[in-house]
Copies of this chain bind each other. A is one copy, B any other.
Amino acid sequence: MPERLRIGLIGYGYWGPNLARNFHQLPDAELVACADADPARLAEITRLYPSIKQTASDARELIENPTLDGVVIATPARSHFPLVSQALSAGKHVLVEKPLALNSEDARTLIDIARTHNRVLMVGHTFEYNPAVWKIKELLDKGELGDLFYIYSNRVNLGRVQTDINALWSIAPHDVSIMLALLNTMPLSVSAHGATYLHPGVEDVVFALLQFPQNIVGHIHASWLDPSKARLMTLVGSEKMVVYDDVDPEAKLKIYDKGVYKRGDAFGEFQLRVRSGDLYIPKIDLTEPLKYECAHFVECMRDNKTPRTDGENGLRVVRVLEAAQQSLKQNGAPIALQENT
């Protein structure tokens, strides 16, 4: 293998520039090719990154370039399956933006192709590379929150209105991937409600409820129709509670020493009392998570490692989204998920 791994980028639209910027700054990778249907975008990336030697309007040209080690795919979701399968089949390692695919069958197929060709398949669930999420995971694993009761997430904004996929598939993959990573388990069932305003058949607003084992509930509110930007997740435990505000650089994590306890009285009755103590805001590494993600992809390619967010991880997220989508169509009916299918 060459000293610096050679990377091609497919899609230089909304997210592509962030990927380009990060790969550009990695010492052991080199961004050398880009495919995008829009010539203006190709001109732009070439101007900014003269390391780019090949541009193409058709992704296939890039995929067939034998000198590339890996490709990074940041295209509309519906193209993930064909592009990833082509790239893997052509012997490229692949980092693909979330969601891995638009249904679990496609996701499973991609996992199989990656295995057959012995290539890295990694999904860009960027929050799993976020030090704030790592810190929450650490707190949960140490039991600092006591029994975890529930998690709710508010991921809303005004912007990135899409017409091909709804807010569930566009926004909620983040919440699902974080919750699965934190809880280390799949939900038993999923219910979802949505509302459609801007484009027929495409929900702008989705509320989803994930029922996890041990009575843990996860609730997601995802929308691209909101006056304010929020990336807010709250975890309520019996001993402590955590608010994770990804938008607040000064206080990404607030750890509240709060809870409710039972207090017996002389008559054998009890009362529920609130306990409210200090608030602790740990210092969080503010490195851009995408930097860790890109470096991890390069590391997995180079050292033949399984990524933290591999195809199986991507499949789990797709399965939850798929169940939520089914519930959306059934007016919120809970859809069960079998753990091992």
Taking beta carbons and an 8 Å cutoff, which residues of A are in contact with B?
Answer: 24-25, 48, 50-51, 149-150, 152, 158-159, 161, 163, 191, 193, 195-199, 204-205, 207, 209, 215, 217, 219, 221, 223, 225-228, 234, 236, 238, 241-243, 250-251, 254, 256-258, 260, 262, 272, 274, 276-283, 331-334
Interchain CB contact under 8 A, B149 and A197: yes
Residue of B nearest to A219 (CB): B207
Check A281 against B283 for contact (C-beta < 8 Å): no
Given A227-B241, A278-B283, A334-B332, residue A195 in contact with residue B215 (CB < 8 A): yes
Q: Within the complex, what minimum Cβ distance (angstroms) separates A286 from chain B?
A: 10
Contact B281 A278 (CB under 8 A): yes
Q: List 17 A-B contacts (CB under 8 A).
A: A149-B204, A149-B225, A150-B205, A152-B221, A158-B241, A158-B258, A158-B274, A191-B193, A198-B272, A207-B207, A207-B209, A226-B236, A227-B243, A257-B283, A281-B281, A332-B333, A333-B333
Report how far A200 CA is from B204 CA in the complex, Å: 36
Determine which residue in A217, A225, A257 has the highest number of CB atoms from chain B within 10 A of its CB, and name it. A225
Give A252 Cβ to nearest chain B Cβ, in Å.
11
- Dominant secondary structure at the A interface: strand
Of B193, B195, B243, B280, the residue contacting A149 (CB under 8 A) is B195
* Cβ–Cβ contact B48 & A50, under 8 A: no
User: Contact at A277–B283, with CB atoms within 8 Å?
Assistant: yes
In Å, the complex CA distance between A242 and B217 comes to 29
CA distance A256 to B281 in the complex (A): 10
Other A-B contacts than A226-B236, A227-B234, A227-B256, 5 sampled, CB-CB below 8 A, are A158-B274, A191-B332, A193-B209, A257-B283, A280-B280
Task: From known contacts A197-B149, A207-B209, A227-B258, infer whether A272 and B163 are also in contact, taking CB-CB under 8 Å.
Answer: yes
Q: How far is the CB of A117 from chain B (nearest CB, A)?
A: 32
| Contacts A50-B51, A227-B258; A282 near B278 (Cβ below 8 A) | yes
Whether the pair B226, A158 counts as a contact (CB closer than 8 A) is no
- Measured between beta carbons, the chain B residues less than 8 angstroms from A282 are 278
Bound-state CA distance A163–B279 (Å) is 28
Closest chain B residue to A199 by CB distance? Answer: B272
Known: A48-B24, A332-B191. A226 touches B219 (CB 8 A): no
Which residues of the partner chain B approach A262 to less than 8 Å between Cβ atoms?
Answer: 198
Contact present for A280 and B278 (CB under 8 Å): yes
Given known A-B contacts A272-B161, A278-B281, A260 and B225 have beta carbons under 8 A apart: yes
- Which residue in B221, B256, B257, B274 is a CB contact (below 8 Å) of A161? B274
